[in-house]
Structure 1
Amino acid sequence: MDELRPESREYLDGLFTPGQRIGGDPYTPYSWIDIVDVQEVAVIRLPSGRLVADSPWSAEPPHELALRVPPGTYPVEVSWSDVPSLINGCYFERRECAATRLRIRDEPVVTWELVLGVGEDPSGPRADRAGFEAEEAMGCFADATAWESLTAPFRRFLADLPGFGQPTGPGRDTEDLCEGYFELARDEEHRADLLAFGVPEGWAQVWAGRARDGEIAVIVVPGPVSTSPWD
């Protein structure tokens, strides 16, 4: 893969820095976002260290990352942004998820890399577009060994959807977090969890930040706010 461009590095470094303005021209309204807060959403269990980053709605085999993390429990954090909007001539700001990260180690990131999936060729034509199809503009972190059970609530929800003109079907068997921005599914048999979050419509990329010793410190998926320099 090509060397990370300076603007991409600046973007990734700033995603979890409160007070940072990201994207666009600072003198052009509505082309940037302000990072206002970083919040821990949940602690998830990854007993195998095999991490999936994919849409929980996907009917395809899960997008398991080629990298491994030490088996354990890890906090997932959200970076909140204030996004400028203009509707019917009125300006306002809305709170939105700028990015979601799995924090492996509490150490500064010194290098970033785009994370490939298992079996993907780092020299192949899609290496600079590594990621997953973001069905329903949703992604998740989950343990690969429990993927089928952890995504079962989403499959049941689709199966139970009513026909056109019928009342709304039952909700999903997941836990809502942060006023519905996140969904948590648990598998007590495998002692594993899945945390679902918003991502850009259509396609999402996964980035790993490494500490000075070369070990993975964080895994980041940018959120639905489209200001990234690789768009």
Structure 2
Amino acid sequence: MNLRTGYGRFAAAVNSLLIAILCLYCLSLGAHAQTAPKDGPIKLAILGDSLAAGYGVSPAQAMPARLEAALKKAGRNVTVINHGVSGDTTAGGLQRIDWMLADKPDIVMVELGANDALRATDPAVTEKNLDAIIAKLKEAGVTVWLAGMLAPRNYGPEYAQQFDGIYKRLADKYGVPLYAFFLDGVAQDPALNQGDGIHPNPKGVDVIVERILPFVTKNLDDHASSVRRPARP
């Protein structure tokens, strides 16, 4: 055997083996990076209107701030980011998704549609906008939750039926968790609303948080399971 040739073949074989091992190692590092628990709090953004923004109450009394406080009291390491804009519609929410995503949220709760209903917007238009919002968020790799709204009953049963069904249809289409009615337990209760009869007062905000908290905690656990991070940080 030619020593030089034999050694060259042996060296090439060893190099190939080392390269293969290195590739496998790099792949395992990449997989670990994707499944390893994420440091820091979970970021939950609420993309909403005045009901999220906290119209008529102080920033500390707004729903996102009160929800974050309740979650921390329950031992949850969650930051709730207020992306509520008073007067915003589903069209407005769609236009500012990129701005919201700059905060790099893990989860986005979409709380929009009340102003569409107050303006008697065609439910088909509202549904199209919400559909586009959910699709864009999911395309960005964000977990999406949907908070439902009900139409004013003075618009008649046909409008109410068309509008109210939007949220269930979209939740089923995209497989996202749905909280059926954001104002559950608060709507039309004078003791829990401001003088306009529409926006919750601080007591009303606390009722919203109390009612929605089980939905949030359950879906935080589901989210934690999906990304393989501890359910209770």
User: What is the TM-score with the length of structure 2 in the denominator?
Assistant: 0.26
More helix per residue: 1 or 2?
A: 2
Higher relative contact order (CA 8 A, sep 6+): 1
More strand per residue: 1 or 2?
A: 1
